[in-house]
Amino acid sequence: MPLLGGFVADAYLGRYTTVLVATTIYLMGLVLLTLSWFIPGLKPCHQEVCLEPRKAHEIAFFIAIYLISIGTGGHKPSLESFGADQFDEGHAEERKMKMSYFNWWSAGLCAGILTAVIVIVFIEDRVGWGVASIILTAVMTISLLIFLVGKPFYRYRRPLGSPLTPMLQVFVAAFAKRKLPYPSDPSLLHEVSKPELNNGRLLSHTTHVKFLDKAAIIEDNTPQALQKQSPWRLATLTKVEETKLIINMIPIWLSVLVFGICAAQASTFFIKQATVMDRHIAGKNSFTIPPASIYCLTAITLIMYVTVYDKLLVPFLRRNTQNQRGINILQRVGIGMFFAVITMIIAALVEKKRLDLLRPSALANRPMSVFWLAPQFIVLGVAEGFTLHTGWTSRVLLRPSPGFYEKLRYSVLPKRARSR
């Protein structure tokens, strides 16, 4: 759903409107979820314990879950990007603040996760998930009110239309002119002047994915013909280069999918491990940790990571690399993926030991302590800090920001190609 929500926000509704609509839908889901626990006609059962929930409860419950999913789809990708829109890319100081914004956004997000897996999970286990739903509904309502209070002070970015249309135009134009010969000089390819770009940037020609250059071949050079030419028949060189750069991103996106598979284990398999492990803090009669609360180790690690990275590592790396970000995006993502590999190795070793202790031949046939899972949750927190919370990469997934293609060129292309 966030893929669809981000596309709709950037192309049609705008981020502010999308956040507002999505949060309202999210609240409707939370309210219905709460009502399905307290209203007699929607309760799971008539009695305290039952083997199968009532049909009315099932319907209300799943409608609520679907509404929350739809709300997340618009809320999750748009709110972070809307916050980034408050910073001016052309202002040096604001650009530096924007880099910190993404790190502190991650810290705030992790603080919410930490509260959820400690407080909300405890209430769900010990009191009931109906009470927990009331708390979540109240928190979401307060967050919506705070968002609305800031309306007069926000900066707004107009929706720019579908980001897929220009790319599709380049492919269609290149295919339509596939039989035309390449021009002897790239300067003969179609391009517009800077004033026509509305403060956008022109991109220079590159030689990779050369087939797409045919989209910018001029068939009739007269001014009248150029003005009447359909964008589905003639694309600018900058549009062609933008499409090439998106194609360059595909291997990066495919690689990060693997990281997503690893990160998903924390809220699925790792939690299932915790449910069958010894969760007592100090002896059988001590406090028992709820299984989902073990995820707080990842959230704490992320908060510590953001603080150390933003206040210590980035200033140190800036002095040594002369890069405002400390290290570039690809290096940061690569380091995070390395830590993800370490996480999976640790998780495999812990799971092997857990299964060995449960074998009939084992001397101590008893579950391991849940704290054996701590290393994999902690290392995963570091991995997520480097890979997922890079800010800029998550923001431009569907709609590139001003200057995106120049940044992408700097990140993806080798130095020799960038210099051209």
- The predicted-structure confidence for 79-95, as pLDDT tens digits, reads as follows 888 888 888 877 778 87
- List, run by run, the mean pLDDT of 10-residue segments along the chain (420 residues): 84 88 93 86 72 82 92 86 82 78 79 87 85 92 92 85 84 89 81 60 81 85 74 86 88 86 89 87 76 86 81 79 76 89 94 84 71 92 80 39 42 42
What pLDDT, on the 0 to 100 scale, is given for residue 192? Answer: 77
- pLDDT of amino acid 401: 40
Give phi and psi for 280, each to the nearest 5.
-75, 140
Nearest to 101 by CA among 113, 89, 114: 89
* Whole-number pLDDT of residue 406: 42
Residue 185 has a CB neighbour count (10 Å cut-off) of 8
Beta bridge partners of 163: none
pTM higher than 0.85, yes or no?
Answer: no
Task: Tell me the Cα Rg of the chain.
Answer: 26
Q: How many CB atoms within 10 Å of residue 253? A: 11
* Number of Cβ atoms within 10 Å of the Cβ of 406: 14
Q: What is the pLDDT of residue 420?
A: 37
CA distances from 224 to 147, 166, 231, 288, 333 (A): 49, 22, 15, 78, 48
CA neighbor of 343 nearest in space, from 298, 310, 303, 304 = 298
d(CA 62, CA 196): 50
- Picking from 354, 389, 208, the residue whose alpha carbon sits closest to that of residue 277 is 354
Q: What is the pLDDT of residue 418?
A: 43
Locate the domains of the chain by residue range. 1-161, 164-240
**What pLDDT is recorded for position 338?**
93
DSSP string, 243-310: HHHHHHHHHHHHHHHHHHHHHHGGGTHHHHHHHTSB-BSSSTTSPBPPGGGGGHHHHHHHHHHHHHII
